[in-house]
Structure 1
């Protein structure tokens, strides 16, 4: 079913009126900067008119390449590159300006590209911003004509734009036909397609049949920020200017369509984490993998915390590294009882008693140094200076470990060490034949549709991941439902089975999880995560096996939200669910 302009305009206007009232009462206007410089077309006037009609929601200014280079993006929430010429706008920015835009988005800002701005967002040209991993289909015929076309919205697109039909008619002005690369650029995020072209314009020598099926509206996360692109022109289409505003709201992180609220849970959170506390907190509660509560509170990086806010995982990262190991174990490519040097034969690891084995890394019984400790940090600094290294990678970290003595013989005592999991990540990338982050992306994130989850491209396994409540809920469901795309039922049982010391005594740790048993039955799997730096992650995940309930807490930018605070909050939430 196709919506007429008048019907769509009435519906969007009604939604806008309700939303504007709520936003005016709840939040400051979104600070929008519209690019002003070479390559900006006349359609910018229609864009500015859209914002004039929503002056209570947005505070709009123009911004020049010189102002971007001077650092003025720090005063902006959303940068918009409008229609016109993508190449001219990109060249007007220059390499310094393009890098400033990337840094702005990576640090939590947002980017909206319309038509030319969509070309600019790709990683397909020398003047591109490289914000989305997309090629331009049939770039030789970019000037394929203008006119009205039909789009087919995805379910997410229908939800974002509040549509009960998946077909919309819109003005096309020679915008990019976005498509997936035949290759994957691990440094540039994949995008989510919110709409594809259903009909086409094929003039001026452009071939027929190319345009339908290519992406017309896309979005993604880049670092801590967000990216949204329109190939066509909603601002030039009667009644569709509200689509621009819906995109700006998503970019401004002021609406959370994916939030799920249990009022009793919110009451507990607001009591234990009042608005006066610094930072923000995101809480997920599930039962049998079904979401009961998924909501953010407070402010992180200057923006309201939502179910899509990037969350630094710290040591919660380890459960994902352990899953990667479990996959290789199930496939017979990794033996948990094999010596580490079997897979890394050129590495001269220290030895005391017996050789290090793979299970020592998983169960924290290795006796290895821990790179996060003060003494080890000093040793790393000296190692890097000697080797001329700016930073450690999975490989050079393993080489550093070979210079450190073991604290004790492996298999004797439990002592938590981040370095064991980084060494495990190095083993995984050698066995799999690809960088760890690529293997993890391909085998977990892509399979589960975790499009908002990222990891370091060089140092993995122990604590560098970021995700969102929406993505973590997908991971949680996969674990409870024993998703066969990841592991067999036996493989999932392996994740939550205690390790053993050499003397046969149990270790209270499995594959990235601390495990508690009652009467020889698994009762609780839990793990915390404490990060440093600006994010100051303070996380706590608890999985109750008797009633298959998860309580996941992610506090950010609040270093004083201690482990006891997190455990008490998780316990009170869980007890409320039992009432």
Structure 2
């Protein structure tokens, strides 16, 4: 049934899907299929092992890492930013919890008028922090929700300050290696990664074209990872089985705060008594969706190497289908 639904959706859509779709229900994979090309110049198809940049789904990894430090009692959710970056404006008012829930009010670095031009250049985490400091605040800390890549860049820096190792090393040590997620890593432009897809943009006349360049160091802990659908499903199962966080901390991560967001996740109701937690991602030439229907025990992972709304539209449609049929 689900196979027919997805295949019919894709057949009827005028835009061809390019990427990998994985849907699981109660630990059984219901659908796993790859479409299109990982590289059109070389006619290389997408497969289950193709690596995609996952954009803002990276924020989930960052949130989990922060909550691990909380459970290790190396950090508290009410700790203030000035403890880690003494020079940060309003640092004594910004709590870790604000950064996790996008309520810190910090100016969004990727919304700055010069970001696209400046993102061609490599940057260290310290340089990113100094750039964020120059961004005007969008609101007072804790006042309202403002989606912010800056907040998650700051959280990545805090992970490094507390652990004494890089963000990349922390993820490998605490999450990626213990779970054998060997096809997931921080995307470093200079490193050759086998089976990594090339990103494309939709063009109204020429169909697909190569995407613009971004130095991934600018995305850092807000959007700098690549992964595969299979690796993300391993991560998903580890969250479900409380292998990364305690049951109580996982529940807290999935609890909507005053402005409707959890820690690293968007929270919504898919049905009357069915919670949906999710995050979509997009970065030059790539889009991604990761949805969990908590009460249905279902997971939807869609990764594409095309900048397109089709990825999130398809993910949301599959979630509705599962909600109504499983």
Q: Which sits farther off after the overlay, 539-548 or 518-527? A: 518-527
Aligned to 2:3: 266
Aligned to 1:443: 174
Distance 1:558 1:363, change over 3 A: closer
Aligned to 2:107: 369
Distance 1:577 1:469, change over 3 A: farther
Aligned to 1:474: 234
The answer to whether the 8 A contact 1:297-1:305 is kept is yes
Q: 1:327 aligned to 2:68?
A: yes
Q: 2:221 aligns with which of 447, 461, 469?
A: 461
Tell me, in whole angstroms, the C-alpha distance in 1 between the residues paired with 2:271 and 2:54: 32
The answer to whether the 8 A contact 1:537-1:557 is kept is yes
1:388-407 matches, cutoff 5 A: 390-407=121-138
Structure with the greater relative contact order (CA < 8 A, sep ≥ 6): 1 or 2? 2
Aligned to 2:253: 495
Distance 1:555 1:268, change over 3 A: farther
Q: 2:90 aligns with which of 351, 354, 358?
A: 351
Q: Which sits farther off after the overlay, 362-371 or 288-297? A: 288-297
Q: 1:537 aligned to 2:298?
A: no
Q: Larger C-alpha radius of gyration, 1 or 2?
A: 1
Aligned to 2:154: 423
Q: Tell me how far 1:321 sits from its aligned partner.
A: 0.6
Measured against aligned partners, the alpha-carbon deviations of 1:205-237 in whole angstroms (never above 9, x if no partner) come to xxxxxxxxxxxxxxxxxxxxxxxxxxxxxxxxx
Tell me, in whole angstroms, the C-alpha distance in 1 between the residues paired with 2:221 and 2:69: 15
Q: Tell me how far 1:430 sits from its aligned partner.
A: 0.6
5+ long unaligned stretches in structure 1: 1-263, 500-505
Tell me, in whole angstroms, the C-alpha distance in 1 between the residues paired with 2:8 and 2:324: 14
Q: 2:141 aligns with which of 410, 428, 434?
A: 410
The answer to whether the 8 A contact 1:328-1:334 is kept is yes
Tell me, in whole angstroms, the C-alpha distance in 2 between the residues paired with 1:467 and 1:498: 27
Aligned to 2:197: none
Q: Which sits farther off after the overlay, 298-307 or 555-564? A: 555-564
Secondary structure at the aligned position of 2:177 is classed as: helix
Q: 1:311 aligned to 2:63?
A: no
Measured against aligned partners, the alpha-carbon deviations of 1:430-450 in whole angstroms (never above 9, x if no partner) come to 101000010001110001000
1:105-124 matches, cutoff 5 A: none
RMSD: 2.7
Tell me, in whole angstroms, the C-alpha distance in 1 between the residues paired with 2:88 and 2:149: 16
Q: Tell me how far 1:342 sits from its aligned partner.
A: 0.4
Q: Tell me how far 1:520 sits from its aligned partner.
A: 10
The answer to whether the 8 A contact 1:368-1:407 is kept is yes
1:16-165 matches, cutoff 5 A: none
Q: Tell me how far 1:390 sits from its aligned partner.
A: 3.7
Secondary structure at the aligned position of 2:291 is classed as: strand
Q: Tell me how far 1:369 sits from its aligned partner.
A: 1.3
Tell me, in whole angstroms, the C-alpha distance in 1 between the residues paired with 2:164 and 2:236: 28
Measured against aligned partners, the alpha-carbon deviations of 1:413-460 in whole angstroms (never above 9, x if no partner) come to 101011110110000111010000100011100010000111135552
How high is the TM-score relative to the length of structure 1?
A: 0.47
How high is the TM-score relative to the length of structure 2?
A: 0.81
Q: 1:550 aligned to 2:289?
A: no
Measured against aligned partners, the alpha-carbon deviations of 1:459-480 in whole angstroms (never above 9, x if no partner) come to 5221111111221111111112
Distance 1:577 1:527, change over 3 A: same
The answer to whether the 8 A contact 2:256-2:267 is kept is yes
Tell me, in whole angstroms, the C-alpha distance in 2 between the residues paired with 1:376 and 1:368: 17
Tell me, in whole angstroms, the C-alpha distance in 2 between the residues paired with 1:575 and 1:390: 44
Aligned to 2:212: none
Distance 1:301 1:323, change over 3 A: same
Tell me, in whole angstroms, the C-alpha distance in 2 between the residues paired with 1:418 and 1:392: 15
Tell me, in whole angstroms, the C-alpha distance in 2 between the residues paired with 1:290 and 1:475: 15
The answer to whether the 8 A contact 1:279-1:558 is kept is no
Secondary structure at the aligned position of 2:220 is classed as: coil
Tell me, in whole angstroms, the C-alpha distance in 1 between the residues paired with 2:135 and 2:61: 27
Q: Tell me how far 1:363 sits from its aligned partner.
A: 0.2
The answer to whether the 8 A contact 1:279-1:556 is kept is no
Distance 1:522 1:355, change over 3 A: farther
Distance 1:561 1:292, change over 3 A: closer
Q: Tell me how far 1:292 sits from its aligned partner.
A: 2.6
